[in-house]
Structure 1
Amino acid sequence: MGAADVVPGVSGGTIAFITGIYEELINSIKSIDWTAIKLLFSLKINAFWRKINGSFLFSVLCGIGISIFSLARLMTYLLKYHPIEIWSFFFGLIIASSFLVAKEIRKWDIFTVISLIAGGIAAYTITVLSPASTPQTWWFIMLSGAIAICAMILPGISGAFILLLMGQYAYIMAAVSSLNLGIISVFAIGAIIGIISFSHILSWLLKNYHSLTVAMLTGFMVGSLNKVWPWKITLETYVDQHGVRQALTEQNVLPRSIEGDPLIAQAIIMCLAGFFLIWGVEKIGKKMSRKN
C-alpha cells in the first residue's frame, strides 16, 4: 500500500483489495469509536488493542511507513527517467487488479452493471479535472485532509491526486517540508475524522450491498486507467516546493505522437510484469488463506 501511495494516480486501496485485507482494514478503522476512546483513556490498553484490531492495524501502518520512506526516492527517480516503463507497469497492475476485484462480485444484474459504470465514470471524471484555485483557510485544509484520506482507501483513486485537484498539494507538501505543525495538525485532524467516518459508510455498504459496492470499486479502478496511460504530453506545469517544474495537466496520446522512441516493446513487457505480479500475489494469498 505504501509503494502504491507514493505513485501519483495509484491508490493504496487497490493493493489492499487484491491482497485480501480490504474489508478487514475498513472494519478495523471503523472500530475506532467512542467505546475504543473510552477504553484508551481508562487505561484499559489490552481491551482497547483488541477492540481496534491493533496488531493488524499496526502491521499495516508499519508496512506503509517503511515502504513510503524506502521507495519514495526510487519511485521519484523512475517516474522522472523511465516514465513510460513505470506507468506501463502500473497499467498492467490495475488491469489485473480490476479482474480480481470483479471476481468478488457475488451477483450480476442490471443494478450491478449500473454501479460498475457509475464508478468508472466517476473515476475517469476525476482524472480529467483540472486543478482548482482554492482557499488556504483552516476549514478547507481540514476538508482537504478528510477527502484525500478517503480517496487513499478507495481502489483506483489517489489521495495525492485529489489534493492536487483541490489546489492544496503544493501547500501541504511545503508545510510538511518546513514542519509547519499548525497546518499539519489541522490537516491530520481532518484526515482522522474523514477516514473514521468514511470507514463506517464503506463497512455498511460492503455488509448490506456487497455486490453493488464491489462493482463500483471495480469501476473506480477501470476508470483510473486513464491516469496511468503510459504515453502522455504535458499541457500545463507548476513549480513544487523545491522549485522544480512538474506536470500539472497532461493529455494521453498514442505512442506515435511521442517525440523520440515510444519504447513500445519495453512498455508491453512492463505491463505484462505488472499483470503477472498481481496474479502471483493473488495466488500466494489464496494458498496462505487455505493454510490458515
Structure 2
Amino acid sequence: MEYERPDVVMDRLELLRAYAYGLCMGTADALPGVSGGTVALLLGFYGRLIAAVTALTPHRAVTVFRGYDPDRRARAREALLEMDLQFLVPLGVGMATAVVLIADVVTTLEATHPVALFGFFTGLIAASAITLGRSLPITSGAHVSAAIAGATIALLVAAGILELPGSGPIVIVIAGAIAVSAMILPGISGSLILILLGQYIFLSNELSAFVSALGDLLSGGSLAAVTDPGSTVVLFLAGGTVGLFSIARVVRAALTRRREVTLVFLVSLIAGSIPAPLTNISETHAWTTETITLTIAWAAVGAVALFGLEYLVGGFDPE
C-alpha cells in the first residue's frame, strides 16, 4: 500500500483530526480485540501511518538535528516533512491519552470486577478471531501449518507452558518491543500480546500509578513515588521503540512476500489467545457455577460489542 505524503503544513483542524485518530487507535490498542492497525485501515489513514513510521530513520533524524546549520536547513525541513511528524506527533499524543485513560479504568475494574473485565476481554478476542478469519483461505499445506503454529504458540503461552525467560526489566523491554510493533499491524492488538505475555495488568497498574504520582508531585507529592512506576514506563517505551524499527518492519515484509500465510498465522495467534484472559480470573476466583455463568455472560457482551462494531463499519479486514 503506497502513500504520497503532502508537502504542506497541517492546519489546526488537521492536527485535531490526527489527535482524534490517535484517540480511536489508542483505545483499540488498549483493549484486546480490534487492533489499532485495523482502526487505521477503517478510518483510511493506514497508508499514511505506515509511510510515516517507515520514514523514521536514524539518517533523517541526524539530518533534522543538523538543521541548526543555515546551509542544511532546507534539507532538514524536507526530512521533517518526509517523516510526517506533523501527523505522527498529534496521533501519538492521542494514542497516549487513550491508553492512559483505559489503563486507569482497567486497573480499577481488575481490582473490583475481574470476572466482568476478563470475561468481556475473552468475548472480544473470540469475536475478533471470527470476524478476521472469515475471509482468510485455508487452501494449502502452508496455510494449515501457519494456522497450527499460530494457535499452538498462543495456547502454550496462555497455559503458562511457554514463558519468556527471566523477569523484570528484560521482560518489560521484550513485551514493549512486541506489543508496540503489533499496535500498527492490522489484525492483532498490542494489548492482546501483553495479555499473552502476562504483562497486561501489571503494565496497566504501573502506567496508572505513574500518571497518578505525577499528578501528586505537582501538589507536593514524593518524587520517589514517580520513579518506580516511571522506570517501568521508560523500559516499555524503550522496548517499543526497538520493536517499531525492527519487528514491525519484519512483519510488514512478511505481509508483502507471503501475505496470506502471514495473515493466517496472525489470526490463528488471536484464536489461540482466547483462553488467555481466563487465567486472570482463575487467580482470584474458583470456577464455580456462578463464576462460569458470569464469565460466559460477560464474554457474550464482549462478542456482541465486537460484532456490533463490525456491522457499523461494514466489516473488518485483517489487511
Q: After TM superposition, list the pairs within 5 Å mapping 1:150-229 onto structure 2.
A: 150=181, 155=188, 158=191, 159-161=193-195, 164=198, 178-179=226-227, 185=234, 188-229=237-278
Is 1:39 the counterpart of 2:63? The answer is yes
Q: After TM superposition, list the pairs within 5 Å mapping 1:103-122 onto structure 2.
A: 103=134, 105=136, 108-122=139-153
Query: Residues 157 and 149 of structure 1: is their aligned pair in 2 closer, same or farther, counting only changes over 3 Å?
Result: closer
Q: State the 1:226 CA deviation.
A: 0.9
Offset from partner CA, 1:209-234 (integer Å, 9 cap, x none):
11111111101110110113499322
Q: State the 1:106 CA deviation.
A: 6.4
Q: Is the 8 A contact 1:26 1:202 kept in 2?
A: no
Query: Residues 205 and 27 of structure 1: is their aligned pair in 2 closer, same or farther, counting only changes over 3 Å?
Result: farther
Match of 1:93 among 124, 131, 141: 124
Q: State the 1:33 CA deviation.
A: 1.6
- Equivalent in the alignment of 1:17: 38
SS in 2 for 1:225: coil
- Equivalent in the alignment of 1:63: 94
Q: State the 1:25 CA deviation.
A: 4.3
Offset from partner CA, 1:65-110 (integer Å, 9 cap, x none):
1212223222223333333333333333223322333355467322
Match of 2:293 among 262, 276, 283: 262
Identity, % of aligned pairs? 19
- Equivalent in the alignment of 2:220: none
SS in 2 for 1:262: helix
Q: State the 1:129 CA deviation.
A: 1.8
Q: What is the distance in 1 between the residues matched to 2:234 and 2:189?
A: 27
Q: Which has the larger radius of gyration?
A: 2
Q: What is the distance in 1 between the residues matched to 2:208 and 2:116?
A: 29
Q: What is the distance in 2 between the residues matched to 1:61 and 1:128?
A: 33
Q: What is the distance in 2 between the residues matched to 1:105 and 1:55?
A: 36
Query: Residues 92 and 56 of structure 1: is their aligned pair in 2 closer, same or farther, counting only changes over 3 Å?
Result: farther
| Worse overlay, 213-222 or 88-97 | 88-97
Offset from partner CA, 1:110-167 (integer Å, 9 cap, x none):
2112212211111121222277783657x776556434544655615645446646xx
Q: Is the 8 A contact 1:120 1:219 kept in 2?
A: yes
- Equivalent in the alignment of 1:74: 105
Offset from partner CA, 1:204-263 (integer Å, 9 cap, x none):
1111111111111101110110113499322xxxxxxxxxxxx6xx89x5x6273xx833
- Equivalent in the alignment of 2:213: none
Q: What is the distance in 2 between the residues matched to 1:140 and 1:263?
A: 32
Aligned residues: 263
Q: What is the distance in 2 between the residues matched to 1:205 and 1:213?
A: 6
SS in 2 for 1:263: helix
SS in 1 for 2:274: helix
| Worse overlay, 120-129 or 86-95 | 86-95
The letter for the 2-side match of 1:196 is F
Q: State the 1:186 CA deviation.
A: 5.4
The letter for the 1-side match of 2:88 is L
Q: Is the 8 A contact 2:254 2:262 kept in 1?
A: yes
Q: State the 1:201 CA deviation.
A: 0.4
SS in 2 for 1:228: helix
TM-score, normalising length: structure 2 = 0.63
Which is richer in helix? 2
